[in-house]
Amino acid sequence: MIIKYSIIKAKGSDSLEHLVGEMVKEGWEPSGSLQIIILGNGTLKFYQSIIKKEDQPKC
């Protein structure tokens, strides 16, 4: 499993749509595994677990 993360500094006037747009510009794909942590100083940390195909259980 790979954990990818990015930190984006948010301004008070930024909307959630703007922040998601910034994420997409950085190559993020919004998915169920995406998590957002809001740090105290207006910084958002996005991270998600990416499961490689060989890590998935075989049926």
What is the predicted pLDDT for the residue at 12? 67
pLDDT tens, residue by residue, 4-48: 666 667 666 777 777 777 777 877 766 656 666 777 666 777 666
Residue type for 3, please?
A: I
What's the rounded Cα separation, in Å, for the pair 4 and 46? 8
Domain locations along the chain = 2-53
What pLDDT is stored for residue 30 in this prediction?
Answer: 61
Task: Give the CA-trace dihedral at 19, 20, 25, 29, to 10 degrees.
Answer: 150
| Pairwise CA distance, residues 44 & 9, whole Å | 6
